[in-house]
Amino acid sequence: MKDIDWGNLSFSYMDTGAFVKAEYHDAKWGKIEKCTDAHMPLHIAATSLHYGQSCFEGLKTFTMKNGEVAIFRPEENARRMFETADRLMMVGPPEELFVEACYEAVRLNRDYVPPYGTGASMYLRPLLIGTTPRVGVQAAEDFLFVVLAMPVGPYYKNGFFPVKSWVQEKYDRAAPHGLGHVKAAANYVAGLKGDYEGKKLGYPICMYVDSAEHKYIEEFGTSNFVGITADKKYITPASDSILKSITNKSLQTLAEDMGYTVERRLIAFDELSKFSEVGACGTAAVITPIHSVTRGDKTITFGSADKAGEVLTAMFKELQGIQYGDVADRHGWMKVVK
């Protein structure tokens, strides 16, 4: 076990012992290899550099209460990367290769997996890039798949507090029928400037509305939108330009377990004030409670500024409880690394 101040780690890159890679050449995937040098040779004309053939995933590994180390729903990320790859004219790693590469990345970095009780976890970052040199706009025939692993700190060091959000309307993040529903690297550069502007104005999280009409709620910069109503509904947007969040999918299951009705549908921005609680959900934080949403000169608030709503708090605790093994894994989400 490494001598690391686990409780004070932030969400940032750390060079650990090793990462894994697999290469695709001549229409087939090679075997998983261990790598220790974080710098890898890449052809200067690789399609990932010139034409954005690049996508990634993000998932977490936890030391559970019983001492086992387990990854949260890796097969879901495998499927999403496969779908993303197809949209970007890339060849995604098959599910077994993806999941085994995640297991191997954890095994190789076992000393960096934060212990139970620290609130920290190990973040896995699978990455897929096109490596064939091309100058004409054409898809690659060669791909590199890597999985990095590093410990990250507890997201809520100072408690589960609500944050202020702001609607970014100057820059759209994703077009209808574009790339918004997949985890293309390009989506993140599209959102960088908008998110940066929001942060400069004091809003940690930007909300995006649909780019065609600016009428419907889409999602936050790196998380899905969830709204709770007083009549026990969990409402989340249906849109083909938002990422299919695995956290959101899991929370929908837990919401049903808790007796909530789940609705996936268009949500007009004008409906926002009807929600009793609003949250942003994703792997990094599970749920970020939203206290307010500002659009132009109007601000809509939800609950108290210094306390998260009780429904989202209960859902957050339930999902984290499953991840850390404090709550029974009744849906079979935790995949133990052997």
Ligand X SMILES: Cc1ncc(COP(=O)(O)O)c(C=O)c1O
- Interface positions with ligand X (CB under 6 A): 58, 219, 222-224, 243, 245-248, 282-283
- In angstroms, what is the minimal distance from the CB of 134 to ligand X? 27
The kind and range of the H/E element at 49 are helix 47-51
Dihedral angle of Cα 168, 171, 174, 178, to the nearest 10 degrees = 160
Q: Which is nearer to ligand X, 58 or 119 (CB)?
A: 58
Residue 305 token pair: 């500024």
Q: CA 53 to CA 269: how far, in whole Å?
A: 33
Phi-psi region of 24 (alpha: psi -120 to 50; beta: other; left: phi over 0): beta
Q: Which residues pair with 288 in a beta bridge?
A: 280
Q: Which is nearer to ligand X, 131 or 187 (CB)?
A: 187
Secondary structure letter of residue 67 according to DSSP: S
- In angstroms, what is the minimal distance from the CB of 73 to ligand X? 9
Strands 233-237 and 261-265: parallel
Residue 19 token pair: 């990462």
Q: Which is nearer to ligand X, 47 or 224 (CB)?
A: 224
- In angstroms, what is the minimal distance from the CB of 223 to ligand X? 5
- In angstroms, what is the minimal distance from the CB of 135 to ligand X? 31
Q: Which is nearer to ligand X, 63 or 245 (CB)?
A: 245
CB 52 within 8 A of CB 186: yes
- In angstroms, what is the minimal distance from the CB of 207 to ligand X? 12
Give residue 220's identity as a one-letter amino acid code.
F
Q: Which is nearer to ligand X, 140 or 246 (CB)?
A: 246
